[in-house]
Amino acid sequence: MNQLLFVLIISFFTDLSKPIAFKSESNFSPDTLKWYDQARKREIPIAIYQPKTVKKTPKQRLVIFSHGYGQNRGGDYLMYSYVTEFLASKGFFVVSIQHELATDSLIPSTGKPQIVRRPFWERGADNILFVIHELRKTHPELDYHQITLIGHSNGGDMTALFPQKYPNIVHKIITLDNRRMALPRTAKPQVYSLRSSYQPADEGVLPTEEERKKIGARIITLANTKHNDMNDDATDEQRKEIQNYLLSFLND
């Protein structure tokens, strides 16, 4: 009897020592696809998150997510499930793009970021445009008048560049601590950004207080969130705060 009790106690504490996986609020897996841009000879992996309902929602709002820099290891488009699955559970049609491929060159670690990283942001913006065009063919029922782009870090820089390279396509952009590419100084698209509390953006990236008032931009600093805390490594408290802000921005 004592031996059995000892085994049960050991098993209990062993289970407690295991990391607790994040529980998805939407309780579904994404549909992963590999699209191919024939014009650029480039494969573009995507993940589609949508509620598992038989009936399609008319004029469903589209959110396109771009991940932070992952050094071409792959799979980064699936590492923000607390954002993508959460927004899908709230009725949005969410697409996450894998921007980096194993065959790509790495982002230069020296030189002025606005110059040496610009081609990578340009490629990301082209990926986003291609995905929008393909979605128009495969999902014509979506609301293409209210497209929102969301991106973290390097993906946020792509997100900031997109409406400046391809104007009059997206309705809102939301960046999660992009630090290099200047945010648009325009009222359309609407501009939102969540900032980390530890790593400042480069000079000129964020609009001044006067510019924010003029264009209606919302720039919010998260007091307890670092730059690298914005993917699925975020704590439950960080996730909830980011989710609440994103939903507020989308419904603004």
C-alpha distance from residue 188 to each of 58, 146, 152, 168, 173 (Å):
24, 11, 20, 8, 9
Contact between residue 63 and residue 93 where contact means Cβ atoms under 8 Å apart = yes
Residue 144 lies in a domain: yes
At 172, list the tokens.
Answer: 């809102």
CA 60 – CA 146 distance, rounded (Å): 9
Number of domains in the chain: 1
Residue 1 belongs to a domain: no
Residue 200 lies inside a defined structural domain of this protein: yes
- Asked if residue 242 is part of any domain, the answer here is yes
pLDDT of 58: 78
pLDDT in tens, the chain (252 residues): 444 444 333 343 333 333 333 344 445 679 999 999 999 999 999 999 987 665 667 789 999 999 999 999 999 999 999 999 999 999 999 999 999 999 999 999 999 999 999 999 999 999 999 999 999 999 999 999 999 999 999 999 999 999 999 999 999 999 999 999 999 999 999 999 999 998 899 999 999 999 999 999 999 999 999 999 999 999 999 999 999 999 999 999
Residues of the domain holding 206: 26-250
Question: Is 246 part of any domain?
Answer: yes
- Whether residue 169 lies inside any domain: the answer is yes
In terms of DSSP H, where are the helices of 17-89?
Answer: 81-89
In a domain, residue 16? The reply is: no
State how far the Cα of 184 lies from the Cα of 105, in Å rounded to an integer. 28
Cis peptide before 189 (omega within 30 of 0): yes
- Look at residue 173 and tell me if it is in a domain: yes
SS3 per-residue string spanning 118-166: HHHHHHHHHHHHHHHHHHHHHCCCCEEEEEEEEEECHHHHHHHHHHHHC
**Which CATH number do you get for residue 83?**
3.40.50.1820
CA 43 vs CA 34, 62, 99, 185: distances in Å:
7, 22, 9, 32
Q: Give the integer Cα–Cα distance in Å for 195 and 227.
A: 8
Query: Residue 130 phi/psi, 5° resolution?
Result: -60, -45
